[in-house]
Structure 1
Amino acid sequence: MKIGNERNRKMSKKKCVIGIILAMIFSFVISMVAYMLFPENTIAQVILEAIDVAGLLGIIIAFGQKRELGFSVGSFIEGIKLNAYVLAYAVPFFIYHLVDWLLGNGGPDFYANTIGSALVLFLTAGMREELLFRGIAFNFIKATGELSRPMVIKASVISALLFGILHFSNYFFGQDLLSTLCQVVYASAIGIFFAAVYFRTKNIWANIAVHFFFDFAHVNMEEVLGVKGNLVGESMSTLIYSIVTIAVAFYLMREKKITASASGVRINSNLNDREDIFKW
């Protein structure tokens, strides 16, 4: 499917705020129901998370941002390519935890329902978080003004900070403070990067796939295989990585690329024409 030229879909600031708050409250309520009432019921969690995702999709459509959910094979591939920076960090973690387990450290301690747990992770870390913070927060904020580099950066930073702050809730569920603070920092940095990639490709589905793999490799591999990494070492690496990530994200959002996107330089998946907008 060919995605049309980029035109910022105007939205009032009031409508933007209402939409973001509505989405966050809806998602929060569904999550609380899923994990407080059904903490051990994977099937119930999958159903509720699917309802959450459907609701977020409905909000995006109801607020006039349906075109932001567009998909084409070409833009999906380009999204994966631009996300190579994130994958270059996630894949080594995946291999590290896998090798650590194969060497006999900590496992296996698989979930009783590993497939179901992975599906829950996909619906939460992959779909829900991308739809909520990129599909809604980023797009809604971006739509409140003229499309420009300052506006794209503003939308990226605000939506990423919301994304990062959300992760502080893990502290109240038993995670130690150092890990939580580091998670808030790198989640914010990754949020800015994902927003930049999403803006460049107009394909949120690539972000969803990469986001899921990133969380699975970096966090859930520890739980699935029963291995634990070095807290201080991983905290330092994530902080350093966060600084580099923000720098790369701003590079992706340089003026030349913002202008190219605003003027409608796109990719036609039917002809496999890869335009300048997708080049680093």
Structure 2
Amino acid sequence: MEKFVKHRFLNSVLFTALFVPLGFFLLRDTIAAITGIMFESIGGKESFLYQINEDIARLIIAGLLILIMPLFFRGKCNFGFKGGKLALGICLALPELIVPVWNLLQIKVYEAPLVTGVAAVAAAIMHGIGPGVSEEVFCRGFTVSNLMRIWKDKPNRIFRCMLVSGVSFGLLHALNAIATGDVFAALIQVIYTASIGMLDGAIYLRSRNLWGVILMHTLTDVSAFLAVFESNATGMDIIFCVFGSLLFIALALYLIRPAKRAEIDELWAEDWSFGDEDGKKRISAKVAAILTAVLVVTFAASLGVTIYQAKMGYDIPFFPASENALDKDVQYQIGGDGKELTILLPYEFGGKYDLENSDPESFVLKESRENGDTYLFVFSHEGTSTEKVKITFGLRLGDMSTSIKNYSVSVSFKDDGSISTVGG
């Protein structure tokens, strides 16, 4: 007896447009944490593989989505890598070139130093390919396609797919933007990324091919990583975001204008459908269920990783760690070149400090000694790593086995490797 597959979650607009893309970012952190340990053990934190660790994690997750979805839809799903209108997709995406061009102009205007060396340039390219492929697979290839299937009998489904997918893409950047502490700038960034999401969604709807938006997304991110910027967003940046947002929204609406709706409907007539399921003969649904269960467990684990990273003071994409105030007994001084940090802690005769440093190779203890009623520690940042370092000082008196007082210090770095802030 035949059974019909009931995709309960995949029929949900909220699940499709927000929860799946959000899960992508969280799962990326989990996989990156695992592969990061492996790459660090192989070549250290300065190695090329470690530098592109997050990009590898992005591509792994995108690959998993591409492999799993055909199991749910009996092979009838097309992520836009083949078929459709390739040339049209690339042509329609060309206006987005203004973004990488703007990034290159900023490099010239601010005389930002370019990254040097084959490994650094290759890493910048991978920093573009990773998000360019993975975010388009999730936010266009999956989200837009599944929304078109969910709303196949709804009026104005093309406009609704473009709008909802774009807005969800903007919202995914909201919490990351709030890390700046500037609510106005955060709002501008959400509107800007939502407008790009709408345009990319419209291009994908018109062409049924992802390569155009992947190319523009990749070029945008590569151009942003080719140089080291130290300054925050300027007034010109905000003006560009506002102008660009209006332009992208106008282009998106033009691309899906009523005169093109019939052409779009014909292009999307197939590709994603339920199909019927014979539970006795086919195992696809069972395999999909098992893989989904594994991803759900991994997703739960990723929340644990996120909480742990926040507790340890690391910066994470959606929940940047806030700088806690230093203990009132802690004093510090950053050297003139930004590479040396002196920390002074309270000291009593007979006391001893146990030191735990999360990055002992890059952030090296150069000196430690009594200094009157304080104990002095001098650290030097050897290298260019910009990962936050957590240091724990445990004060013991005499032969006591446990600390009577713990001091926690977190050190953040600028893009050039110099020390930027010190917190608790």
The bucket for the TM-score relative to the shorter chain is 0.7 to 0.9
Cα distance change on mapping 1:13 and 1:231 into 2, 3 Å: farther
State whether residues 178 and 186 of structure 2, in contact with CA within 8 Å, keep that contact through their aligned partners in structure 1.
no
* Corresponding position: 1:143 with 2:140: no
List per-residue Cα deviations over 1:6-64 (Å, max 9, x = no partner): xxxx9967423255566335413322235667495324324322211212223443343
Aligned with 2:88 (options 78, 87, 95): 78
Query: C-alpha distance in 1, partners of 2:109/2:125?
Result: 20
Range moving further from structure 2, 115-124 or 149-158:
115-124
* Corresponding position: 1:170 with 2:176: yes
Match for 1:133: what amino acid? Answer: C
* Corresponding position: 1:90 with 2:99: yes
1:227-238 matches, within 5 Å, as 228=231, 231-238=234-241
| CA shift for structure 1 position 246 | 0.8
Aligned with 2:64 (options 47, 55, 66): 55
* Corresponding position: 1:242 with 2:245: yes
Cα distance change on mapping 1:188 and 1:11 into 2, 3 Å: farther
* C-alpha RMSD of the superposition: 3.3
* Corresponding position: 1:181 with 2:178: no
1:5 aligns with: none
Query: C-alpha distance in 2, partners of 1:108/1:232?
Result: 23
State how many pairs are aligned.
248
1:200 aligns with: 206
State whether residues 199 and 248 of structure 2, in contact with CA within 8 Å, keep that contact through their aligned partners in structure 1.
yes
Structure 2 length as normaliser, TM-score?
0.51
Query: C-alpha distance in 1, partners of 2:78/2:204?
Result: 13
State whether residues 148 and 258 of structure 1, in contact with CA within 8 Å, keep that contact through their aligned partners in structure 2.
no
Cα distance change on mapping 1:252 and 1:33 into 2, 3 Å: same
Match for 1:261: what amino acid? Answer: I
| CA shift for structure 1 position 90 | 2.2
List per-residue Cα deviations over 1:218-247 (Å, max 9, x = no partner): x434xx243647611111221122112111
* Corresponding position: 1:260 with 2:263: yes
Aligned with 1:213 (options 214, 219, 227): 219
Structure 1 length as normaliser, TM-score?
0.74
Cα distance change on mapping 1:121 and 1:177 into 2, 3 Å: farther
1:83-122 matches, within 5 Å, as 83-87=93-97, 89-100=98-109, 105-110=111-116, 113-122=120-129
* Corresponding position: 1:44 with 2:41: no
Range moving further from structure 2, 174-183 or 236-245:
174-183
Query: C-alpha distance in 1, partners of 2:23/2:222?
Result: 25
Cα distance change on mapping 1:147 and 1:122 into 2, 3 Å: farther
State whether residues 149 and 254 of structure 1, in contact with CA within 8 Å, keep that contact through their aligned partners in structure 2.
no
State whether residues 128 and 219 of structure 2, in contact with CA within 8 Å, keep that contact through their aligned partners in structure 1.
no
Match for 1:151: what amino acid? Answer: R
State whether residues 149 and 258 of structure 1, in contact with CA within 8 Å, keep that contact through their aligned partners in structure 2.
no
Match for 1:23: what amino acid? Answer: V
Match for 1:220: what amino acid? Answer: F
Percent identity over the alignment is 19
Query: C-alpha distance in 2, partners of 1:152/1:265?
Result: 10
2:21 aligns with: 24
Cα distance change on mapping 1:94 and 1:250 into 2, 3 Å: same
State whether residues 124 and 222 of structure 2, in contact with CA within 8 Å, keep that contact through their aligned partners in structure 1.
no
Aligned with 1:67 (options 58, 67, 78): 78
State whether residues 19 and 59 of structure 1, in contact with CA within 8 Å, keep that contact through their aligned partners in structure 2.
no
List per-residue Cα deviations over 1:100-120 (Å, max 9, x = no partner): 36xxx2323558633124313
2:136 aligns with: 130
State whether residues 97 and 227 of structure 1, in contact with CA within 8 Å, keep that contact through their aligned partners in structure 2.
no
1:4 aligns with: none
Unaligned 5+ residue runs, structure 2? Answer: 38-44, 270-424
The answer to which structure has the higher helix fraction is 1
Query: C-alpha distance in 2, partners of 1:11/1:231?
Result: 50
State whether residues 193 and 245 of structure 1, in contact with CA within 8 Å, keep that contact through their aligned partners in structure 2.
yes
Unaligned 5+ residue runs, structure 1? Answer: 1-9, 267-280
State whether residues 46 and 116 of structure 1, in contact with CA within 8 Å, keep that contact through their aligned partners in structure 2.
no
| CA shift for structure 1 position 91 | 4.5
Query: C-alpha distance in 1, partners of 2:232/2:113?
Result: 13
Query: C-alpha distance in 1, partners of 2:267/2:30?
Result: 43
Match for 1:90: what amino acid? Answer: V
| CA shift for structure 1 position 216 | 3.1
State whether residues 99 and 220 of structure 2, in contact with CA within 8 Å, keep that contact through their aligned partners in structure 1.
yes
The answer to which structure has the higher strand fraction is 2
